[in-house]
Amino acid sequence: MSLLVTGSIGIDTVETPFGKRQDVIGGSAIYFAYAASFFAPVRLVGAVGDDCPKALLNVFENRPVNTAGLEIRKGSKTFRWHGSYLKDMNEAVTVEVDLNVLAERAPKIPAEFLDSRYVFLANTHPALQQETLGHLKSVKLVVADTMNLWIQTERQELEKLLSKIHGLVLNDGEARLLTGQKNLILAARETLKMGPKFVVIKKGEHGCLLVSERDTFVLPAFPTEKVVDPTGAGDSFAGGMMGYLATQGNLTSATLKRALAFGTVVASFTISDFSLAGLTAATRDQIDDRWEKFKSTMSF
Amino acid sequence: MSLLVTGSIGIDTVETPFGKRQDVIGGSAIYFAYAASFFAPVRLVGAVGDDCPKALLNVFENRPVNTAGLEIRKGSKTFRWHGSYLKDMNEAVTVEVDLNVLAERAPKIPAEFLDSRYVFLANTHPALQQETLGHLKSVKLVVADTMNLWIQTERQELEKLLSKIHGLVLNDGEARLLTGQKNLILAARETLKMGPKFVVIKKGEHGCLLVSERDTFVLPAFPTEKVVDPTGAGDSFAGGMMGYLATQGNLTSATLKRALAFGTVVASFTISDFSLAGLTAATRDQIDDRWEKFKSTMSF
């Protein structure tokens, strides 16, 4: 089924204990789209400036990612992020960030994308997330991400957004900030009261938690000693999860669990190398193999 | 099969966001013994001073815990610990600690305990742990716990201990300190090189990790919103794990996994109330029910 993602596309510089990569492709929509494309065709909506090297945008060649919604905006500059994991592999320190094109108007959604059924609103201003959503008339499942900045400065818009979506994906610190609850299950329950049918809390190396009225489901991260660059892990997780959900057409407990496990496994490929290299080196067969292994180690 | 534990028995004062309890029973051997006694008979070895109120030591009435190794030492004072979780429910801040009897000679192991097959050496000076172990001539499975203090100040004795035991249980910070490895799987692998056949890393609210030459197994904590007092969670985990192992007589992957899951579930009862109240209110049926629920939410 049709899966649309809108979010950031950026040029990243990343430092980890394993080295430094300059001017590599990044951004939430990029990681999400690549991860989801292992499962379902993806429609990408996002904007870059005319300074963005074409080579960076070729990552979706031979992938089922429709880039008709990729706007190369004349006279604008591409979003840039410079992050460091030298202190803590579980949390990036932002060395520098230039919003550039992300601070301008939202990218236009192509007419051919307006019938999208599955939608992922990657982290951006909640008013823009609502605006995007307002154009889509056939949605079946809308999941959004958010961040500390909007929780602190755009609470009202964020609450409006929460009343319009089915699922919210956020990290543990954000969930605590949003609700004032330290216990993550209580934080998730509080969040449900704001509108979403389910909440997924990402805990980085500690895995994830899904809470709905019906389910409470926890998963550890896929155990791996190869953590080279955690950038994009959360968006890859969301991509794997939504990509799988888009192929299922239901939200039963079993489907949600399997989707979380696929998200977990896809993220484990992302963090195994810098930028998109972990994902571009992966195949669907490898993902399925690792998923089966994960499933078997989780059963006792 | 015979399961012996030696460790601390203390009088605790604990503060959490849910209140304060003064002069309640605590100590690693107490939590371990109570938790393990849901599965197998337990032999308790430990010392208190003659200041210890008898009522505190009555917790094992009607439990299959043999307290012949409980020494009430004349003229000595009981170990006391005052801890606070007001800042962080995942890590106690020690407000005050008086080692008292724990700083004296080790308690004597009764002759009737010397044939113990399963042994848990709860956290204490690694030289004392070795001394205790030296008396036991029929051991089949020896698991030890340790702490930062010994890793930093008694490295040599600790390494000697590690060469003599089958399993080591420690928390994430301790594993990183012991090995200098941030990644916990690598930290566990490094630890294996020091002697143990398996290493269990406890991550508090984030669950646990077992690594052996053959297995890498991760489990989240049992998802619960009722966390009142985390004191004793790690020792209860070890008690549930060892209690179950003592009933099995093998260390297959499947047995180890199930043992970790029992440890996880038993710890979830411990943290649901102050001191031992969470455990004393639990029944084996409730533990089995929660274990089945955990097993089913973990399968996908």
pLDDT digits (tens, 9 = 90+) for A227-238: 999 999 999 999
Instruction: Please report the pLDDT score of residue A57 as a whole number.
Output: 87
In this prediction the pTM is 0.91
> Where is average pLDDT lowest: A82-96, A251-265, B189-203?
A82-96
Shortest Cα–Cα distance, A6 to chain B (Å): 29
Is B261 within 8 Å of A89 when comparing Cβ atoms?
A: no
pLDDT value at residue A101 = 93
Give the tokens for residue B8: 């601390």
- Interchain pair B183, A227: CB under 8 A: yes
* pLDDT at residue A91 in the model: 86
pLDDT given at position A51: 95
Of B182, B225, B300, the CB nearest to A295: B300
Res. B131 pLDDT band, cuts 50 70 90: very high
Asked if the model's pLDDT at residue A153 lies above 80, the reply is yes
C-alpha–C-alpha distance, residues B202 and B206, integer Å: 8
Q: Is B183 on the interface with A (CB under 8 A)?
A: yes
Task: Answer whether A225 sits within 8 Å of B254, measured CB to CB.
Answer: no
Cα–Cα distance list, B261 to A111, B173, B244, B268, B269 (Å): 52, 22, 10, 11, 13
Q: Does B253 touch chain A (CB under 8 A)?
A: no
Contact between B220 and A227 using a beta-carbon 8 Å cutoff: no
| CA-closest candidate to residue A200, choices A223, A175, A164, A236 | A175
Contacts of A290 in chain B (CB under 8 A): none
Judge whether residue A124 has pLDDT over 90.
Answer: no
Tell me the sheet residues that pair with A43. Answer: A4, A66
The helix/strand/coil state of B243 is helix
pLDDT given for residue B162 in this prediction: 98
Section A148-166 average pLDDT? 95
Residues of chain B neighbouring A265 (CB-CB closer than 8 A):
none
Please return the burial class of B78, using the count of CB atoms within 10 Å of its CB with bins 0-12, 13-18 and 19+.
buried
User: What mean pLDDT is predicted for residues A12-41?
Assistant: 97
Specify the residue for token string 């992302």.
Answer: A270
Distances (CA, A) of B209 to A251, A287, B125: 30, 22, 24
> For residue B185, which residues of chain A lie inside 8 Å, CB to CB?
223-225
Q: Which amino acid, residue B224?
A: T
Q: Specify the pLDDT at position A45.
A: 96
Geometric angle at alpha carbon B236, from B232 and B241, rounded to 5°: 155
Q: Please list every residue in chain A whose beta carbon sits closer than 8 Å to the beta carbon of residue B89.
A: 182-183
Single-letter code of the amino acid located at A88 = D
B86 touches chain A (CB under 8 A): no
Please state the domain count of chain B: 1
Distance CA A113, CA A6 (A): 11
Q: Cβ of A160 under 8 Å from any chain B Cβ?
A: no
Distance (Å) from the alpha carbon of A202 to chain B's nearest alpha carbon: 12
Q: Report the residue of chain B nearest A221, measured CA to CA.
A: B218
Handedness of CA B250, B252, B296, B261 (dihedral sign): positive
Asked whether the beta carbons of A54 and A256 are under 8 A apart, the reply is no
| CB-based contact A217 B297, cutoff 8 Å | yes
Q: What are phi and psi of B162, to 5 degrees?
A: -60, -30
- Closest chain A C-alpha to B26 CA, distance in angstroms: 24
Q: How many residues does chain A have?
A: 300
Whether the CB of A195 is below 8 Å from some CB of chain B: the reply is no
What percentage of chain B carries pLDDT values higher than 70? 100
Test A300 with B257 for CB contact under 8 angstroms.
Answer: yes
Please give the structure tokens belonging to residue A178.
Answer: 């949003």
**In angstroms, rounded to a whole number, what is the distance separating the alpha carbons of residues B91 and B121?**
22
pLDDT exceeds cutoff 90 at B221: yes
Structure tokens at A237: 């997780």
pLDDT of res. B49: 97
pLDDT at B56: 87
Cα–Cα distance for residue pair A157/B99, rounded to 1 Å: 55
Amino acid letter for position B285 = D
Contact (CB<8Å) A297/B209: no
B271 sits in which H/E element: none
The larger pLDDT score, comparing residue B31 to residue A249, is at B31
pLDDT grade, residue B252 (50/70/90)?
A: very high
Residue found by looking up tokens 């579930």 in the block? B265
Determine the residue among B252, B293, B300 to mutate to test chain A binding: the one whose Cβ has the most chain A Cβ atoms within 10 Å: B300
SS3 B287: helix
For residue range A82-103, list pLDDT tens digits in order.
999 999 888 899 999 999 998 8
pLDDT of A55:
87
Give the CATH number of the domain where residue B41 resides.
3.40.1190.20
Which whole-number Å values give the CA distances from A267 to A22, A24, A93, A141, A237, in the listed order? 22, 18, 20, 21, 5
For residue B57, what pLDDT band results from cuts at 50, 70 and 90? Answer: confident
Residue B1 has pLDDT above 80, yes or no: no
Tell me if B300 and A203 make a contact (CB, 8 A cut-off).
no
Whether B128 shows a pLDDT value over 80: the answer reads: yes
- Taking the C-alpha atoms of residue B165 and residue B121, their distance in angstroms, rounded to an integer, is 10
Average pLDDT (A183-204) is: 97
Contact B194, B144 (CB under 8 A): no
Size of interface A-B (CB pairs under 8 A): 73
DSSP sequence for A187-234: HHHHHHTTS-SEEEEE-GGG-EEEEESS-EEEEPPPP-S--S--TTHH
Average pLDDT over residues A163-169: 98
Give the whole-angstrom CA distance, residue B203 versus residue A185: 17
> What is the predicted pLDDT for the residue at B38?
98
For residue B268, which of A170, A299, A216, A175 has the smallest C-alpha distance? A216
**Domain range enclosing A167:** 3-298
Mean pLDDT computed over every residue of chain B: 95
Give the separation between CA B67 and CA B74, rounded to whole angstroms.
Answer: 17
Determine the pLDDT at residue B80: 96
Going by C-beta distance under 8 Å and a sequence separation of 6 or more, which residues neighbour residue B291?
B261, B262, B265
Q: Select the residue of B207, B224, B300 nearest A220 (Cβ to Cβ).
A: B207
- Per-chain mean pLDDT for chain A: 95
Confidence of residue A24 (pLDDT cuts 50, 70, 90): very high
Give the pLDDT mean for A54-75: 94
Q: What is the rounded CA–CA span in Å between residue A224 and residue A67?
A: 32
Give the integer Cα–Cα distance in Å for A215 and A198.
Answer: 9
**pLDDT number for residue A131:** 92
| Number of neighbouring beta carbons within 10 Å of residue A294 | 22
Supply the pLDDT for residue A209: 96
Tell me what ipTM this predicted complex has. Answer: 0.85
Q: How far is CA B222 from CA A179, A292, A299, B265, in A?
A: 22, 22, 14, 6
pLDDT(A202) > 90:
yes
Q: In this structure, what token pair is assigned to residue B51?
A: 């200041």
In this prediction, residue A90 carries a pLDDT of: 83
Q: Verify whether the Cβ–Cβ distance B89 to A261 is below 8 Å.
A: no
The reply to whether B82 touches chain A by the CB within 8 Å rule is: no
How far, in Å, CA of A203 to CA of A206, rounded? 5
Cβ-defined contact of B300 to A297 (cutoff 8 Å): no
Residue pointed to by tokens 């742990």: B129
Query: Across the interface, do A189 and B300 touch by the CB < 8 Å criterion?
Result: no
Q: Report chain B's C-alpha Rg in angstroms.
A: 18
Mean pLDDT along residues A48-73: 94
Tell whether B192 is within 8 A of chain A (Cβ). Answer: no
pLDDT-derived band at A125 (thresholds 50, 70, 90) equals: confident
